[in-house]
Amino acid sequence: MKTYEAPDIRNVLLVGHGGAGKTSLLEAMLFTSGALTRMGRVEDGNTVSDFEPEEVKKGISVSLAMAPVEWNGTKVNVLDAPGYADFVGDVRSAIRAVDAVLLVVSAVDGVEVQTEVAWELAATAGLPRAILINKLDRERASFQRTLDQLIESFGTQVAPLQLPIGEEHEFEGVADLLTRRAYRYGSGPKAEEGPWPDDVSGKADPYREKLMEAVAESDDALIEKYLEQGELSEEEIVRGVKRGFAEARIAPVLAAAATRPVGVDRLLQFIVDEFPSPADRGPVTVLTKSGEEKPRACDRAQALTALVFKTISDPYVGHITMFRVFSGKVRPDSAVFNASKGTEERIGQLFALRGKEHDTVAEVGAGDIGAVAKLSHTTTGDTFSTKDDPVQLPPVEMPQPLLAFAISPKTKGDEDKLSTALARLQEEDPTLRVERSEETHETVMYGMGEAHLDVMIERMKRKFGVEVTTAPARIAYRETIKGPGKGLGRHVKQTGGHGQYGVCSIEIEPLPRGAGFEFVDQIFGGAIPGQFIPSVEKGVVKAMQEGVLSGNPMVDVRVTLVDGKYHTVDSSDMAFQIAGSLALKEAAQQAGVVLLEPIVELEVVVPEAYTGDIMGDLNSKRAKIGGMESAGAGKQRIKALVPQAEVARYAIDLRSMTGGRGAFTMRFSHYEEVPAHLAEKIIAEAQKAREEAQKR
């Protein structure tokens, strides 16, 4: 593939709800431009951008894919983002790599949850947004209904530039409101241009009115003229659309049926004519080593600045790193400096990705997107720069993964393979988090939802040959005591020869919540020799770690060693450890043991319409509501303290209650006593699990 200059490049991200037709649209773009001789179908699993086995099996996109489309002397780098909430991390990464966003909306299903989520992410990033109403050839498709929903959801900046000629099975082309020309499609992907049909002329006036309103509202000078004269000239509308779109104040609406393909050549021409090039976007802000901000222009002659926005882990090739160059250039067989990791990387062959195919390129210059294989240290979010000017781009902000599964290898001896596989998957997907819980002794994998974790588990098996068993992650309960208690630990065995002798007497009392553990030595007169006192403490600590009732560690206890006995020959370190353990268990039984559960701070942001349902649900989860406040954009922020056990699957619950419109964060707060009726159930389950483990 030839090298393009920044003014001749367009970087576009396809976003929208799952099933809106983004993957089919990219396929149609490649076919219309002549890059493909026939179009693949999602149903057949043979599209360019859905090539992962998990995508073919499920019939949905689960990973960001890319393909360059060459159209009329311009290179359009098209990124196809997954449309399901579990894979929103790829959308967040890709938004940083593009200059404009195309929201694909189904004319059958209308505005859906991920349409709104993607719009908000693009708006936050300040990116221009165009909308394509797709699937106009399907049954129950309605351009008007979908347009009304778009205006209701996103405001009057939504402005139609095209009208469909016909709908459902009669959809045959598009009418352009700016040029007043019709574009009809026969057997091929290229339109035949002609005059407006008479029936469209009558319908078009209200749409042109909407378009003029949107253009006028995006420009102070034009709104005065529009209010005075009631109309704008053709030239003012065309100029106003381009400027308003570039400044993200107008969202133009186009029409298409990607699988036919109808309207796709007009879309490509619109992208080339109206979408901003990297040169139009202006400089990016970089951070210097000293923490200062400075602008970096889109210029090949400047020092290198590039952002790694996607890492693909391949068991044969190693890492494939996708990056966007903001300034400077990257050439094959050269070195780049990874400013995020502070290491130098050797660049081998450079290529443009077309799905899973690699098109070799001579260089990747400012404004362009490229890929390279086999980098050693680079992961998603890193910045490439030069060693003498190691600037960084702000990191990509990722959502917090909060659905937890405990995983373990099915085959014994696969622990090393599992840890390697998990490390590689985390490099590929920053929304996956893996931790080893010291309290429950489990390897816990955190994801965005069940579909996300299912895909990761399938990928682990396919790419790295590791099969795992999964279970809900255990809650890290703890035990403590209600009041003071006394215990005598006696470990005496004398059966001829060298025996074992250790006796100790302890007193215990509760400490304030979170105080931990204290050991006080009050031995007088050498009742226990000094060298065995640490042995008693070690035995007490071991018993506390194992717990008395539920197998969970005991906390917030002061243990005072008050008396004991020893034998000059038979006493030993082990004898006093066992005595300390026995004493603790007896004292705890006398003091009374209670179970503690982790309480988390939950912060939920939802549209106002859902606040009643959320509050009711939180109350049923034993939550203490801390307050509610406006979060802007018609949303409310609810704060609450909730037992962790009640919100272990809250990622699924909240999505179900709000249709995916809610978001939440969760962090540990403190421990509290579990209500007695629940504690009994937890203790019974723990004892049953312990008995089953002993049988095995």
With both helix axes pointing from N to C terminus, report the angle between 533-546 and 573-591 in degrees, rounded to the nearest 10. Answer: 50
Within this chain, do residues 30 and 142 fall inside the same structural domain, yes or no? yes
The answer on 565 and 503 residing in a single domain is yes
Alpha-carbon gap, residue 119 to 81, rounded angstroms: 13
- How far is C-alpha 129 from the chain's CA centre? 22
Judge if 548 and 623 occupy the same domain.
no
215 pLDDT band (50/70/90 cuts)?
confident
Sign of CA dihedral 566, 568, 570, 575: positive
Cβ pair 172, 165 in contact under 8 A: yes
Instruction: Report yes or no on 650 lying in a domain.
Output: yes
CATH of residue 566's domain is: 3.30.230.10
- The total number of residues shown for the chain amounts to 696
- The confidence score (pLDDT) of residue 315 equals 65
C-beta of residue 104 within 8 angstroms of C-beta of residue 134: yes
Q: What is the C-alpha separation between 493 and 195, in angstroms, rounded?
A: 106
Q: How far apart are CA 285 and CA 327, in angstroms?
A: 11
More confident residue, 269 or 159: 269
Q: Which CATH number is 668's domain given? A: 3.30.70.240
Q: What's the pLDDT band for 645 if we cut at 50, 70, 90?
A: very high
Cβ neighbours, 10 Å, residue 590: 15
In a domain, 211, yes or no: no
pLDDT digits (tens, 9 = 90+) for 123-165: 999 999 999 999 999 999 999 999 999 998 898 889 899 999 9
pLDDT bin (cut points 50, 70, 90) of residue 696 is: low
Using CA of residue 677, residue 679, residue 685, residue 691, what is the dihedral sign?
negative
> By three-state DSSP, how is residue 368 classified?
coil
**Mean pLDDT score, 484-513:** 89
Structural domains in the chain (count): 5
- Are 654 and 644 in contact, with CB atoms under 8 Å apart? no
Distance, CA of 525 to chain centre: 63
- Mean per-residue pLDDT over the chain, rounded: 89
Examine residue 240 and state whether it is found in any structural domain, yes or no.
no
Tell me the C-alpha distance between 673 and 480, whole Å. 9
In a domain, 1, yes or no: no
Give domain status of residue 234, yes or no. no
DSSP secondary structure, 194-221, as one string: EEPPHHHHHHHHHHHHHHHHHHHHT-HH
Tell me: do 410 and 317 sit in the same domain.
no
- Identify the pLDDT of residue 392: 93
For residue 356, pLDDT beyond 70: yes
Together in a domain, 45 and 157? yes
Number of H helices, E strands in the chain: 16, 36
The pTM for the full model equals 0.82
Which of 571, 591, 611 is a domain's end point? 591
Q: Is the pLDDT of residue 665 over 90?
A: no
- Domain shared by 415 and 554, yes or no: no
Which has the minimum average pLDDT: 84-93, 493-502, 517-526, 596-605?
A: 493-502
The pLDDT value recorded for residue 149 is: 92
Residue range 621-642: mean pLDDT, rounded? 90
Query: How many Å apart are CA 279 and CA 277, to the nearest integer?
Result: 5
The pLDDT of 40-49, averaged and rounded, is 79
Say yes or no to pLDDT of 497 above 70.
no
Cis preceding linkage at 261, omega within 30: yes
- Which of 313, 352, 315 has the alpha carbon at shortest distance from 330? 352
Find the angle CA(213)-CA(214)-CA(216) to the nearest 5 degrees. Answer: 65
- Cα–Cα distance for residue pair 117/101, rounded to 1 Å: 13
Q: How many angstroms separate the CA atoms of 57 and 240, rounded?
A: 45
Helix (H, G, I), strand (E, B) or coil at 189: coil
SS (HEC) of 587-605: HHHHHCEEEEEEEEEEEEE
Mapping DSSP to helix (H, G, I), strand (E, B) and coil, where does residue 671 land?
strand
Output the domain CATH number for residue 305: 2.40.30.10
Domain assignment present for residue 543? The answer is yes
Of 119, 176, 124, nearest to 149 by C-alpha is 119
637 and 498 belong to one structural domain: no
Region 247-251: what's the mean pLDDT? 88
Q: Is the pLDDT of residue 58 over 80?
A: no
Query: What pLDDT sits at residue 496?
Result: 64
Compute the Cα dihedral for 641, 646, 651, 652 and give only its sign.
negative
Instruction: For residues 11 and 143, state if they share a domain.
Output: yes
Q: What is the pLDDT of residue 512?
A: 92
Q: What is the CATH number of the domain that holds 467?
A: 3.30.70.870
Q: Does a structural domain hold residue 685? A: no
Q: Is 74 a domain residue?
A: yes
- The tens digit of pLDDT for each residue in 446-495 reads 998 888 899 899 988 888 889 999 988 889 899 999 999 999 999 998 76
Q: Tell me the pLDDT band of 268, cut-offs 50, 70 and 90.
A: very high
CB 128 within 8 Å of CB 276: yes
Tell me what percent of the residues of the chain surpass a pLDDT of 70.
Answer: 99
Alpha helix segments (H runs only) across 411-525: 415-428, 450-464
What is the reported pLDDT for 660? 82
Domain coverage including residue 419: 403-474
Regarding whether 147 and 35 lie in a shared domain, the answer is yes
For residues 122 and 159, state if they share a domain.
yes
What's the pLDDT score for residue 156?
Answer: 81
Q: How far is CA 379 from CA 319, 412, 673, in A?
A: 9, 30, 42
Percent of the chain topping pLDDT 90: 53
Residue 56 has pLDDT above 80, yes or no: no
Same domain, 294 and 435: no
Q: What is the pLDDT of residues 417-434, one digit of tens each?
A: 888 889 888 888 889 999
- Residue type present at position 325: V
Is the domain of 135 the same as that of 161?
A: yes
The span from the CA of 146 to the CA of 20, in Å, is: 12
Q: How confident is the model at residue 683 (pLDDT cuts 50, 70, 90)?
A: confident
- Of 354, 385, 416, which closes a domain? 385
Nearest CA among 632, 631, 439, 640 for reference residue 650? 640
The domain boundary residue, chosen from 447, 474, 501: 474
Residue 436: closest CA among 406, 470, 399: 406
